[in-house]
Amino acid sequence: MIKRISAAALLAAAGQLVFAASVPAVPDGLKVIYSTLNDDRDKAYDCCTGLALNNSPSSREQQFIAMPFTPAEDGHVRRVDLAITWTGGANRVSISLRADAGGVPGDVIKQAGESDFPVSGTCCELKAVSTGRIAVQGGVRYWIVARPTADMWGAWNDNTIGATGDFAFKQNEGWVAWNGSLGAFAVLGD
C-alpha cells in the first residue's frame, strides 16, 4: 500500500512551519510541457501533504515515487521543477527521466543527484533540476522518478489544482501502478 504523509507528521518531523515564496519562473525560450503546479505562486503545491519518500537501510523501508507526463508534441526537456521536501536524514534525492515500461517507469534516459531540498511543511520553494536537452516524442509517456539516497525521509508534495491520475511507487520490490492525487511538478523545455 502506498504511504502518504500528513501535515502533522511533516510538521512534527520538520519541527517548524516556514513559508518561502520561491517558485522559479519559466525562463525565456522555454515553455511548459506538462505541469501540476498551481499558477498562484503562493499555492504552487500543498505544503503539508504528499507521498512519502524514504530510503532507510536501518529499518529496511523504502518508497520511491514516479510521476508520468505525456508531451503533446515532439520537443526537448530542459528542466524539471519539483515540489519535493525534506524531513530528515541525508538531504539528497536521485531524480531520473525514464521511458515507460507498460504503465510503470522503465529504462533511465537521464539521471542526476540533487540535494538541498526545502524543509517539509514549507511552501512554495521548488527544486529546479536542469536536464540538458533531452528529446521527447509527442503522445509518448515518460516518467520523472524520485529515489531518495542513503538514509532520507521526505515527501513529494501534492498538487493544489486537483490533478489526479496514474502514478507509480516502489517499496523494496518492483514498481506498482497506482491512481490518486498527483505530486506537484512541471516539465519545461522547447
Confidence of residue 61 (pLDDT cuts 50, 70, 90): confident
Q: Which of 69, 93, 64, 84 is nearest to 174 (CA)?
A: 64
Confidence of residue 172 (pLDDT cuts 50, 70, 90): confident
Query: Averaged over 45-68, what is the pLDDT?
Result: 89
Secondary structure element (H or E) that encloses residue 56, with its range: strand 50-56
Q: Which grid cell sits at 111?
A: 539521471
How many other β-carbons are positioned within 10 Å of the β-carbon of residue 76? 16
Residue 27 has pLDDT above 90, yes or no: no
Residue count of the chain, please give it.
190
How far is residue 125's CA from residue 86's CA, in Å, rounded to a whole number?
Answer: 12
Could you tell me the domains of the chain? Answer: 4-189 (2.60.120)
- 81-125 pLDDT tens trace: 999 999 999 999 999 999 999 999 999 999 999 999 999 998 999
**Measured between alpha carbons, how far apart are the two ends of the chain, in Å?**
37
Q: Which grid cell sits at 93?
A: 534525492
Confidence of residue 173 (pLDDT cuts 50, 70, 90): confident
